[in-house]
Amino acid sequence: MEAQDLLKALKRFAESLVHSRKSQQEEQSSSGKPDQLQEVSTAFGNPTTDIAILREADTPAEIQLLDRWDERTSQFSRLDFTNLLAGVDLERRTLLNRIMDEARSMVFNKMPIRLLMFDQKGKGIKLVERSEVLHYLFLDIVAATFDNAGQVRLAMSWTDDSKQYMQDFLLTLKFGQYAILSHTWLPHGEVTYSEWKNHTSLDTQSPGYSKLEKFCEVAAGYGLRLAWTDTVCINKESTTELDESIRSMFKWYGGAKVCVAYLAETTSLDDMDKDKWFTRGWTLQELLASNFIKFHTLDWTAISNNPADQSDKSNFSPISLVSGICNATGLDKQELLDSPDFNNVPIWRKMQWAAYRYVTREEDATYSLMGIFNVSMPTAYGEGAEHAFLRLVKEILSSKSTSVSKLEIANWSFQRPIGVNDYRPALDVQPALDTLSSSILIPASSRLYGTLSESHRNVHFYPPSVPITLSHLGLRVPVLLMPSRTVTRGDIVKRSKKNRPKFYPKGDYSATFVESVKGPNYTRSSRRHRAYNVLDSTLFSSGHIGITDTNAPPDMDSVSDDDIRIFAVINIAEKAIEVLLPTTGPCLAIEVKLKNPPIGWAIPEDLELERKLAACPITFDMVYHNDSSFRIFKDKLNHHGMTLRTMYL
């Protein structure tokens, strides 16, 4: 649109904002009483939503905006638009058009589908679509471009037409920014989109409507005129709109000028960490996505004494506030302060954040993680929690964004949590046997990342040397196979590490670890202990080299097939002529079961595995002998009892 046409269009739009008080009074008198809902929905007038109308011909020179509009824009609105651009050079005129184009792109691609609009006190709430927001933003742009006398205010620096410059400029305008609410839904009484559109069913005395009013007042207190909340701003009867909203949620919270976190069960900082807001699935991503967040208590007062322009998750926040948030969420301080920039956080750690969170619809446990992992996938309520989680895993594996390795997703466990609060869901004892995943490395739920031991949390990975792909056969990964001898005699396993029977490794590497296997009731009497001697030389000798410990029972030098376990270490790196063991932290391995036992420990290239559904990854610390290194030449692997294979797990 040419600059002259643009100003004519703006005149046309501004005229459409004129709201006749006389007409309102006539409508109210005809109904016999003031219409409270009319005031709620029309306090800002009724701008046209048809952008095509903005291209129509000239309009009267003198126009009048609403009384609720700020003084600066009101003064500007009474000017004669026809001559505004007369003294504007082509360069600045072109820049203005580019800013208008950028405004359109921002509103329709970065802002929510619809927003709440209100005056400077948070009153006169109205629900507006993107097109209406764009109209007001256009007026904001022109008001910032010309002074009260209609003279151009564009400084020479405005000739910088870079995209970032224009975006920064738009974010300084009233209708280029919005507040967003993070809250937990009431049991009943929340204002929905359908109720708002159908005024006859809208209860303005409901607790949900009161929450809406208070939120808008708080948002106005932060100098904003637009706000968003998931109760009234999403038409949940439209599956298309609901899908777009869920997939855009992380972006919308990240784009908000301020996120107002309403803690409905909190009266002060002292009891903040007990609020159920910290237990819900969706509030996790709302906390992490927000660049600027303010916590408010039950009566809508700010929970901290931070200045209004200082986020509650910042280095300048009181230690007690940051500690309270971390204690309630399980985030460490740096994770909280760095969010939403957490690309370097391991996959398993992000899963751990969400492990104990509640959701109403089971699929939301997965959908609420899309933004955290920077992936997008269609929603399909009714598909079930496990199916949704498996789709998320596939998206994570195929995405470009990850911390170090996609294999981090295999670092999970099903140990019973210790000291977990009663209000949090219990973990499964083990993965479901009918799991949908084709891979034994992928659990059925994010809950299985919740109880990782200290050893699991210290696992490190190399960047993958080959793509990690998931198919119907499983995850295709390079692994280092290590045989182990199993010891289940309780009198041996329970000894201290110093007094356990010694064994001789096949080569220069070995490991010993004990596994405590718990029964379904988690009682002490149901526990069984099992020890593993990794790379025990007796497994490679027909004569089974005996153990020299004098305290060993006489049958320790006999090895049966049932005593042999094979572990596939997955956090390795395969190079051209060597294999790298982890330099930091333990080995992460999965127990595999061959369909046919090896003869003389000669692992075939085309080995077949039995799927071991109840297995979860284990960790052990590798011991180096004879000045050996974490670097092992491939032609020396057999000497140490190891075998390198690429397998589907």
Give the C-alpha separation, 243 to 248, whole Å: 9
Q: Which two tokens stand for residue 522?
A: 């988690």
Amino acid at 308: A
Q: How confident is the model at residue 552 (pLDDT cuts 50, 70, 90)?
A: very low
Smallest Cα–Cα separation from 372: which of 331, 426, 420, 427?
331
Residue 412 lies in a domain: no
The pLDDT of residue 72 is above 90: no
The per-residue pLDDT for 307 is 84
Burial of 86 (0-12, 13-18, 19+ CB in 10 A): exposed
| 474-487 and 564-569 beta bridge pairing | antiparallel
Burial of 21 (0-12, 13-18, 19+ CB in 10 A): exposed
- 477 touches 573 (CB < 8 A): no
**Averaged pLDDT for residues 9-22:** 43
Residue 462 lies in a domain: no
Residue 63 lies in a domain: yes
**Averaged pLDDT for residues 85-113:** 81
- 438 touches 472 (CB < 8 A): yes
> Are residues 264 and 283 part of one domain?
yes
Residue-wise pLDDT tens digits, 395-405: 999 887 767 78
CB burial string 311-341: b at 16+ within 10 A, e below: bbbeeebeeebbebbbebbbbeeebbbbbbe
Q: Following DSSP, what letter does each residue of 483-511 receive, concatenated?
A: EEEEE--HHHHTS-GGGSPP--BSSSEEE
The per-residue pLDDT for 138 is 86
Out of 23-27, 131-135, 498-502, 604-608, least confident range: 23-27
Domain boundary among 158, 176, 194: 176
Residue 49 lies in a domain: yes
> Are residues 613 and 506 part of one domain?
yes
Phi and psi at 133, nearest 5°, equal -60, -40
% of the chain exceeding 70 in pLDDT: 69
Out of 197-211, 223-237, 486-500, 573-587, least confident range: 486-500
> Are residues 222 and 171 part of one domain?
no
**Averaged pLDDT for residues 570-589:** 93
Q: How many domains does the chain have?
A: 3
Amino acid at 383: E
More confident residue, 201 or 558: 201
> Are residues 170 and 307 part of one domain?
no
Residue 441 lies in a domain: no
Give the C-alpha separation, 301 to 416, whole Å: 39
The pLDDT of residue 431 is above 70: no
> Are residues 154 and 70 part of one domain?
yes
Residue 448 lies in a domain: no
**Averaged pLDDT for residues 282-299:** 95
Domain boundary among 308, 342, 376: 342
The pLDDT of residue 372 is above 80: yes
Most confident of the following: 126-140, 217-231, 443-457 = 217-231
% of the chain exceeding 90 in pLDDT: 39
The per-residue pLDDT for 236 is 93
More confident residue, 518 or 166: 166
> Are residues 573 and 540 part of one domain?
yes
Give the C-alpha separation, 589 to 581, whole Å: 12
The per-residue pLDDT for 205 is 87
Q: How confident is the model at residue 556 (pLDDT cuts 50, 70, 90)?
A: very low
> Are residues 185 and 167 part of one domain?
no
Residue 389 lies in a domain: no
Report the largest interatomic distance among the alpha carbons of the chain, rounded to a whole angstrom: 107
Amino acid at 291: N
> Are residues 106 and 247 part of one domain?
no
Give the C-alpha separation, 621 to 388, whole Å: 35
Helix ranges (H only) for 298-384 are 319-329, 333-338, 347-354, 364-367
**Averaged pLDDT for residues 608-613:** 58
> Are residues 185 and 144 part of one domain?
no
Ranges of beta strands (E only) in 445-497 are 469-471, 474-487
> Are residues 195 and 172 part of one domain?
no
Residue 544 lies in a domain: yes
The per-residue pLDDT for 604 is 65
Domain boundary among 161, 176, 191: 176
Neighbours of 522 (CB within 10 A): 10
Residue-wise pLDDT tens digits, 484-503: 888 765 555 555 555 566 77
Residue-wise pLDDT tens digits, 187-218: 988 999 999 988 767 788 899 999 999 999 99
> Are residues 191 and 133 part of one domain?
no
Q: Which domain holds residue 248?
A: 177-342
Residue-wise pLDDT tens digits, 432-449: 444 677 888 888 888 888
More confident residue, 402 or 515: 515
Give the C-alpha separation, 18 to 129, whole Å: 19
Q: Which residues contact 588 (CB under 8 A, 6 or more apart)?
A: 410, 411, 456, 459, 569, 570, 571, 582, 617, 618, 619
DSSP 3-state assignment of 319? helix
> Are residues 283 and 215 part of one domain?
yes
Most confident of the following: 361-375, 392-406, 459-473, 516-530 = 361-375
Q: How confident is the model at residue 126 (pLDDT cuts 50, 70, 90)?
A: very high
Q: How confident is the model at residue 336 (pLDDT cuts 50, 70, 90)?
A: very high
Q: How confident is the model at residue 559 (pLDDT cuts 50, 70, 90)?
A: low
